[in-house]
């Protein structure tokens, strides 16, 4: 190697990504791979065996669960898209200053703990829940409607959690669409609904497909919602894996089920890419050929839809009048925002109830359940453990994330795209697969039921968030500042310390807080890694929810809700200030 070549290797900015890469290799890639290996190993003899897979194939309950998982995920994805699209469209069409405020109404439910959201729906949908009480009170029904422990309950819960994700994925695509194209279409003779379908909708499709895919693969790994809102008929794959590991300790079989889940996810991604092209997720436009049959066919379908929509909108104008028709979208959007926020807000008054039961409205108010919470050593140690673990995990994830984001921003290497994808992988691979793999690894090196184990696990899961957040800030960072600093005599390290880091400080804080929240209400890893006395707040909530619903849970949920929302608002402020 020539001196120059050596120099080039050493000053390559990709070095900054090395710590993060090593961390992920050891605590993400290795555990997941060894879990996959485990699935083809005989648990008794240690030989190669496909016993677990034959068992899956020969027991139709597993295939049925796979089918249910697939069906519920697909239904969730479709419903979420249908609900999220008009909402995202409405938010995107708001003037920029109002848009950021409206966006908070979607970001807050996005980050609200799954457990709190699910708990809220249990209160809403139960036999004596809020909805049934209202319906019976208004004498609309005589018997309580069966809303919980069935497919309806699961879908409500799943869609409620996934709509914010769908909106957040579609929004960047929508806001980047040049609104003048709509004006152009109209001056060229297209009616408003034709202009929308033929131009805007077509251009927003990459966002729709990306949103659909993300919702679908996230739904595949769900277990909280089906466990509490569904019945036996809605058992999903992740629930089976949890049972195999924590109750039956059947590693090999849990591994095989995990492989099934991973393969399902990857297959979904593959077919999605084949049909829609996910390159759009990465923001790259697909290179369509102008004569491609699929393209022409797609345009014809849109043509058809637009004609139908045109008739529909004219009908609506005749029936409802122009005034109402023009406001339908805003009304719909506010209804959805209400659907996203109201159930969780309902938890707060119940936390202050004086009753023994989860009644709504509470018969009277008291602080007794908060007293129970603050006087219980179990809850308090769980809470403080969650704070400590979240703080440490956020520190680690921010450090690794900053290094990686800096490396990617400064590097023009062809590896950069690959490395970025690698860091996003913990978001794509189902959490349950990561968690089981980690459990298996930690069990052998004595990290189970330890804070260190939790911190490592949560760092892996929050890394994608920090890389994305810091990366987005660095995109707005003017790299010429670094060049200016070096012409003024600063070396690389001093440039980093005195120029780059202070300028992107807000982004680092935002990333830290996002990582903190991710860890603070993380349950999947905690279910396995935090055992016995070393439990975290979400794990303690999960245990309580399985055992017995009680108003203490509402009090705890209130605390979690407030902590997470506050941190989130602070994070958003830092993120925005840095960008502007």
Partner 1 sequence: MAIDHQTSVLPPKLRIDGLAKRYGNFTALEPTQLEVHSGEFLTLLGPSGSGKTTLLQLVCGLVDASEGSIFIDGIEQSNVPVHRRDIGLVFQHYALFPHLTVSENIGFPLKMRGVPDSQIKTRVNTALEMVHLGSLANRFPKELSGGQQQRVALARCFVYQPSIILMDEPLGALDKKLRDQMQIEIKRLHRESGATIIYVTHDQEEALALSDRICLMNHARIEQIGTPREIYMNPCSAFAADFIGISNILRGSIQIDQNRNSWLVTSYGRFLLPAGVSKEMVSGAVVVRPEHLTFDATSPNTLRATVRDLVYAGSETRVIATLDDGQDVIVRQPPDIEVPGRGSSITLGWQAERAVVIP
Length of the chain: 580
Query: Would you say 54 or 176 has its CB closer to partner 1?
Result: 176
Rounded Cα–Cα distance for residues 379 and 536 (Å)? 9
Contacts of range 49-55, beta carbons closer than 8 Å, 24 or more positions apart: 51/252, 52/252, 52/253, 52/255, 52/256, 53/256, 55/253, 55/256
Query: Would you say 178 or 371 has its CB closer to partner 1?
Result: 178
Rounded Cα–Cα distance for residues 188 and 194 (Å)? 11
Burial class (CB in 10 A: 0-12, 13-18, 19+), 491: exposed
Question: 447 and 453 in contact (C-beta within 8 Å)?
Answer: yes
| Residue of 109, 283, 76, 88 whose CA lies nearest to 168 | 88
In 495-506, which positions are buried (b, 16+ CB within 10 angstroms) versus exposed (e)? Answer: bbeebbeebbeb
Rounded to 5 degrees, φ, ψ at 365 are -115, 145
Closest approach, Cβ 478 to partner 1, in A, equals 24
Closest approach, Cβ 449 to partner 1, in A, equals 55
Closest approach, Cβ 101 to partner 1, in A, equals 20
Query: Would you say 195 or 456 has its CB closer to partner 1?
Result: 195
Query: Would you say 290 or 580 has its CB closer to partner 1?
Result: 290
Which one-letter DSSP state was computed for residue 391?
A: H
Residues forming the site for partner 1 (CB under 8 A)? 178, 180-181, 183-192, 194-195, 199, 202-203, 285, 288, 290-291, 299
- How far does CA 423 lie from the centroid of its chain? 15
Rounded Cα–Cα distance for residues 433 and 437 (Å)? 6
Closest approach, Cβ 189 to partner 1, in A, equals 4
Closest approach, Cβ 299 to partner 1, in A, equals 8
Closest approach, Cβ 287 to partner 1, in A, equals 9
Rounded to 5 degrees, φ, ψ at 189 are 110, 5
Query: Would you say 194 or 410 has its CB closer to partner 1?
Result: 194
Rounded to 5 degrees, φ, ψ at 291 are -100, 0
Query: Would you say 46 or 189 has its CB closer to partner 1?
Result: 189
Closest approach, Cβ 303 to partner 1, in A, equals 8
Closest approach, Cβ 89 to partner 1, in A, equals 17
Tokens of 529: 């890694």
Closest approach, Cβ 305 to partner 1, in A, equals 15
Question: 156 and 342 in contact (C-beta within 8 Å)?
Answer: no
Question: 556 and 352 in contact (C-beta within 8 Å)?
Answer: no
Burial class (CB in 10 A: 0-12, 13-18, 19+), 323: exposed
Query: Would you say 138 or 188 has its CB closer to partner 1?
Result: 188
- How far does CA 60 lie from the centroid of its chain? 31
Rounded Cα–Cα distance for residues 479 and 474 (Å)? 9
CA distances from 444 to 122, 253, 441, 461 (A): 38, 18, 6, 21
Query: Would you say 290 or 412 has its CB closer to partner 1?
Result: 290
Query: Would you say 232 or 291 has its CB closer to partner 1?
Result: 291
Query: Would you say 19 or 192 has its CB closer to partner 1?
Result: 192
Closest approach, Cβ 207 to partner 1, in A, equals 14
Rounded Cα–Cα distance for residues 127 and 144 (Å)? 6
Query: Would you say 63 or 299 has its CB closer to partner 1?
Result: 299
Closest approach, Cβ 180 to partner 1, in A, equals 5
In 362-376, which positions are buried (b, 16+ CB within 10 angstroms) versus exposed (e)? Answer: beeeeebbbeebeee
Rounded Cα–Cα distance for residues 455 and 397 (Å)? 10
Query: Would you say 247 or 285 has its CB closer to partner 1?
Result: 285
Query: Would you say 203 or 443 has its CB closer to partner 1?
Result: 203
Query: Would you say 55 or 202 has its CB closer to partner 1?
Result: 202
C-alpha angle with apex 169: 123 to 577, nearest 5 degrees?
95
Rounded Cα–Cα distance for residues 267 and 323 (Å)? 47
Tokens of 382: 């769980």
| Residue of 42, 528, 67, 70 whose CA lies nearest to 253 | 42
């Amino acid at each position: 190697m020539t001196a120059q070549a050596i120099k080039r290797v050493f000053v390559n900015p990709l070095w900054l990504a090395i710590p993060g890469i090593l961390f992920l290799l050891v605590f993400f890639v290795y555990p997941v791979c060894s879990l996959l290996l485990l699935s083809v190993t005989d648990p008794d003899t240690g030989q190669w065996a496909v016993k677990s897979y034959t068992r899956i194939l020969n027991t139709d309950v597993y295939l049925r669960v796979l089918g249910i998982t697939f069906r519920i995920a697909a239904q969730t994805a479709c419903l979420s898209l249908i609900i999220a699209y008009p909402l995202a469209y409405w938010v995107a069409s708001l003037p920029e200053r109002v848009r950021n405020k409206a966006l908070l109404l979607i970001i807050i439910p996005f980050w609200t703990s799954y457990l709190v959201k699910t708990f809220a729906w249990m209160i809403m949908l139960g036999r004596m829940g809020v909805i049934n009480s209202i319906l019976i009170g208004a004498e609309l029904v005589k018997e309580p409607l069966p809303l919980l422990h069935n497919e309806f309950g699961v879908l409500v819960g799943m869609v409620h959690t996934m709509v914010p994700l769908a909106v957040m994925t579609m929004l960047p695509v929508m806001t980047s669409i040049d609104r003048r194209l709509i004006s152009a279409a109209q001056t060229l003779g297209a009616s408003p609904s034709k202009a929308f379908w033929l131009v805007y909708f077509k251009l927003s499709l990459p966002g729709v497909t990306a949103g659909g895919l993300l919702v679908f693969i996230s739904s595949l790994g769900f277990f909280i919602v089906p466990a509490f809102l569904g019945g036996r008929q809605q058992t999903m794959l992740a629930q089976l894996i949890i049972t195999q590991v924590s109750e039956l300790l059947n590693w090999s079989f849990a591994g095989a089920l995990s492989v099934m889940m991973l393969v399902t996810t990857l297959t979904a991604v593959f077919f999605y890419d084949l049909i829609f092209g996910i390159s759009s997720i990465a923001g790259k436009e697909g290179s369509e050929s102008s004569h491609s049959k699929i393209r022409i066919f797609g345009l014809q379908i849109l043509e058809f839809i637009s004609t139908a929509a045109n008739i529909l909108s004219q009908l609506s104008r005749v029936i409802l009048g122009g005034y109402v028709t023009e406001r339908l979208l805003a009304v719909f959007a506010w209804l959805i925002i209400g659907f996203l926020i109201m159930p969780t807000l309902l938890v707060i008054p119940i936390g202050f109830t004086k009753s023994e039961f989860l009644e709504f409205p509470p018969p009277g108010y008291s602080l007794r359940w908060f007293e129970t919470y603050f006087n219980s050593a179990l809850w308090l140690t769980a809470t403080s453990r969650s704070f400590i673990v979240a703080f440490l995990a956020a520190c680690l994830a921010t450090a690794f994330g900053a290094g990686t984001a800096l490396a990617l921003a400064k590097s023009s290497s062809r590896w950069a795209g690959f490395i970025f994808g690698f860091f996003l992988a913990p978001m794509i691979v189902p959490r349950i697969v990561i968690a089981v793999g980690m459990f298996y690894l930690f069990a052998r090196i004595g990290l189970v039921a330890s804070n260190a184990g939790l911190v490592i696990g949560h760092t892996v899961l929050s890394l994608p968030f920090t890389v994305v957040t810091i990366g987005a800030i660095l995109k707005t960072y003017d790299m010429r500042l670094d060049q200016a600093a070096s012409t003024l005599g600063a070396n690389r390290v001093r440039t980093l310390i005195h120029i780059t880091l202070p300028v992107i400080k807000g982004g680092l804080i935002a990333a830290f807080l996002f990582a903190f929240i991710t860890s603070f209400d993380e349950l999947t890893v905690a279910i396995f890694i935090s055992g016995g006395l070393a439990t975290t707040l979400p794990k303690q909530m999960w245990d309580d929810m399985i055992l017995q619903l009680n108003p203490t849970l509402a009090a705890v949920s209130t605390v979690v809700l407030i902590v997470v929302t506050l941190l989130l608002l602070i994070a958003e402020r830092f993120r925005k200030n840095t960008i502007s």
